Structure 1
């Protein structure tokens, strides 16, 4: 299996418990954001990262945690004429990155532009926002303040607000051929099958990311946990009769062409052991993936 599991911290009930169980199970990448866990996720991760230097970490910039809003205003980096819940202006990015490094206790390996489509109604507005964000992140990477950057989106790619080729072209415009644009993050799951169907036909975001040499972080592989209740015996058999419901759902994301890492928020060692059982399986063949898509549609 080429794709690996990574620890996600979105909607974690207990970030420390979840990532400790993940790292103990051998997971070597943690994904977080300043606004996760009511603004406490990054600081909660520091003891784990301090104790486990082999673990890599990605965080994000864009959403403004309620706990940071007044400090950002006092620092003059949060314009009052913009959506106060989301900001990708260069001064705010630089300010937030400094806080992230302090909270994590290290230089993040990746920083994702978090849902750049948020609150923006047209492609021109999103393109301008991404250009400003990429400029700030290229500067931070040149200064050694981040390892690289990417774009994490829920619907920006599927809605056509931007494409992978457009993102890579923008990175080359801003940073030249040695730009630091490294990865994308978007949903891949049994309820987001269109992107998998496209990849099997050699097109779409997964195929474009692979062609561009980008890592793909698949988010929400279990649909926020809701998929587990929808995993009927029949559906599990279509995927892998020997798998548990969670393993069957994860196998889809782990087997999707072009996926590098699958983000999972699992709270206990038993949950991580079950998930790693899926990661140890042979990937589903293209024919098996097409069979799942035939059953569920896109």
Structure 2
């Protein structure tokens, strides 16, 4: 980290993966320890803030947004903590966060209500989603898009989501996705997509 200078945001990555066989109290203790170290880095000016990037922690019940906020307050010793971000998978394959947010709940809505920055990871589910993107599904999302752009648009339109983490192999692909994301789906349009997928 010294070579990078000050880092804006550091994620505790998949803490639930290190908790196999541990009960929630032990896992939470380990997360609190990590948060305590990150609070020290924040106070020293080495990082701007920290967050949790989780694959299954929020869906398995190992973690919750209220849990993480409590652990951050405990680590900071006050309500003035530097826990500022949450990252979780959001895609048409892992669509529970989308459905929950459309219904006004779930971790993304809880995180936004708490003032956290929210990131959606794996919007193409490691590329697996592209094989499931039929022309009918693409046209339901938005006619004329590529399969990748349609999948990213659906994820990026999730209520409560600030940013979708993605990459592109060419400038053309990047421009395609950026253009699609510039005009998000309405909640009604997105619900039509999730309802269609739920009915399959």
- Common fold, TM-score beyond 0.5? yes
What residue is the counterpart of 1:110 in the other structure? 9
**1:226: Cα distance to partner?**
1.7
Q: Deviations over 1:216-257 (max 9, x none)?
A: 110001111121222110001111113221111011111101
Q: Which runs of 5+ in 2 are unaligned?
A: none
Distance of 2:185 and 2:9 partners within structure 1: 29
For 1:142-181, what aligned pairs fall within 5 Å after superposition?
142-175=43-76, 176-181=78-83
**In the alignment, is residue 202 of structure 1 matched against residue 104 of structure 2?**
yes
Q: Which runs of 5+ in 1 are unaligned?
A: 1-99
Runs of 4+ in 1 over 3 A off after TM superposition: none
Is residue 111–residue 146 contact of structure 1 (8 Å, CA) maintained in 2? yes
**In the alignment, is residue 292 of structure 1 matched against residue 193 of structure 2?**
yes
What residue is the counterpart of 1:190 in the other structure? 92
**1:297: Cα distance to partner?**
2.0
Q: Which has the higher contact order (CA 8 A, sep 6+)?
A: 1
Q: Deviations over 1:94-137 (max 9, x none)?
A: xxxxxx341xx331110000110113132112101111000000
Report SS of the residue matched to 1:284: coil
Q: CA RMSD in A?
A: 1.3
Distance of 2:71 and 2:187 partners within structure 1: 32
Aligned length: 196
**1:190: Cα distance to partner?**
0.5
Normalising by the residue count of structure 1, what TM-score does the alignment of the two structures yield?
A: 0.64
What residue is the counterpart of 1:124 in the other structure? 25
